[in-house]
Amino acid sequence: MPLRSKITGTGSYLPEKILDNFQLEKMVDTSDEWITERTGIKERRIAGTDEATSDLCLKASKRALRSAGLKPSDLDMIIVTTMSGDMPMPSTASILQGKLGAKNAAAFDLNAACSGFLYGLSVADSFITSRKSSRLLLVSGEINSRFINWEDRSTCVIFADGAGAVVLEPESGKRGIISTRLYSNGELWDLITLPGGGSKHPIREANINSKLHFIHMKGNETFRVAVKTLERLVTDTLHADGLKPSQLSLLIPHQANIRIINATAERLGLPMEKVFVNLQKYGNTSSASIPIAIDEALKAGRINEGDYVLLEAFGSGLTWASALIKW
Ligand code: COA
């Protein structure tokens, strides 16, 4: 029997503050009708001023550990995926390790933007199946609202905050992660960016005046590439793993835009009952969207033992990725 990585615990945390489309109507030139029709989003969560990304990750992590029946000291590795970490140095994973008291764990961050959770899952799977880790916490947390220009209606209606966590452990058998696939096209790096605050555009008055410390997105161009790429990704993944779409119990896509999700489901011929969607409540929480969705899907009884679940994501980089899990 092969050794596989199995998700043995899940948890999520969404900040309390809700920002709905009607409130946004009062902030920028937009409407509930436009946002609903073009994105599917109705409301999103915004972190409190006293919350940092590691705080969101901490709450999601504690819930995931509780559901796995583990203590922080049982962990041997912590991977945080984020594009909105607490600070450039140290890693948010190290800060989280300290807050959790996970004294036996190595800790590092991974950034693949909205594809971060699936990149993290692939790295975690490699650590587990090569026996370098046996109790791994993978947490995806984002406070995108800190990097949003509230005067830019093309981004401020989309990006939002949240965190999701999973615990991974080894198990011999047919259940667990079947495959992960990672892709990147750096030629299109400028479609979605947060240019400021790094070595290219450090924090200087001129760069702040040029609004380089905000998320910038060429939305329509990104949309067209995302639809084409994801349609190919999901069909290629199932084909390579020898699975028919009808054998899938649930598709959990990155929650970016309902029109992208509908197009992907249509390409697979999947009815929407087999697609998990929660972006109407949370908007686009970048790398956190898939683990939040997994946690909610499990709690809602949408995933059962033996189910085939397909995960897919697309984001800045450009990056895109899939994972097939037999639950
Ligand atoms: N409210 C009202 N009008 C808006 C608006 C808003 N919030 N945002 C943009 N518009 C306007 C534009 O200014 C444009 O007006 P114009 O025709 O007068 O120039 C019009 O709506 C159409 O803009 P466009 O950007 O072509 O809209 P779209 O249908 O592509 O939808 C997104 C915009 C951002 C919702 C969509 O492109 C998208 O979801 N992109 C992909 C996001 C993604 O997947 N990212 C990767 C993962 S993070």
pLDDT 10s digits, 266-296:
999 999 999 999 999 999 999 999 999 999 9
The torsion angle over the Cα atoms of residues 168, 174, 177 and 181, rounded to 10 degrees, is 160
For all residues of the chain together, what is the average pLDDT? 97
Question: For residue 33, how far is its CA from the centre of ligand 1 (angstroms)?
Answer: 13
Q: Report pLDDT for 59.
A: 98
- Residue 264 and residue 159 share a domain: no
Reported as a pLDDT band with limits 50, 70 and 90, residue 1 is confident
57 Cα: distance to centroid of ligand 1 (angstroms): 30
What's the CA-to-centroid distance between 39 and ligand 1, angstroms? 9
Mean pLDDT over 218-225 rounds to 96
Nearest CA to ligand 1 atom 3: 30
pLDDT tens by residue, 60-96: 999 999 999 999 999 999 999 999 999 999 999 999 9
d(CA 226, CA 248): 22
Q: Which domain holds residue 197?
A: 178-326
Which residue's alpha carbon is at the smallest distance from atom 13 of ligand 1? 154
What pLDDT score was predicted for residue 182? 98
Give percent of the chain with pLDDT exceeding 70.
100
Strands 77-81 and 136-143: parallel
- In the set 144, 216, 254, 257, the catalytic residue is 254
- In whole angstroms, what is the distance from residue 327 CA to residue 7 CA? 8
Catalytic residue, candidates 57, 111, 114, 144 = 114
% the chain with pLDDT above 90: 99
Q: If you average pLDDT over residues 166-174, what whole number do you get? A: 95
Residues for the chain: how many in total? 327
Q: 156 an active-site residue?
A: no
Per-residue pLDDT at 207: 97
Number of domains in the chain: 2
Q: Is 259 in the pocket of ligand 1 (CB under 6 A)?
A: no
- Whether 229 and 106 map to the same domain: the answer is no
245 CB near ligand 1 (under 6 Å): no
Indicate the DSSP class of residue 246: G
List, for residues 37-60, the tens digit of each pLDDT value.
Answer: 999 999 999 999 999 999 999 999
CB atoms inside a 10 Å sphere around CB 103: 10
Q: CA gyration radius for the chain?
A: 19
Same domain for 292 and 148: no
Q: Are residues 146 and 241 in the same domain?
A: no
Is 16 in the same domain as 145? yes
Mark whether 49 and 144 lie in a shared domain: yes
Please tell me the distance from the alpha carbon of residue 58 to that of residue 80, in angstroms, as a whole number: 11
| pLDDT of 2 strictly over 90 | no
Give the pLDDT mean for 10-39.
Answer: 98
Note whether 314 and 181 are within 8 A (CB): no
CATH of the domain at 83: 3.40.47.10
- Ligand 1 center to 37 CA (angstroms): 11
- What letter would DSSP give residue 172? E
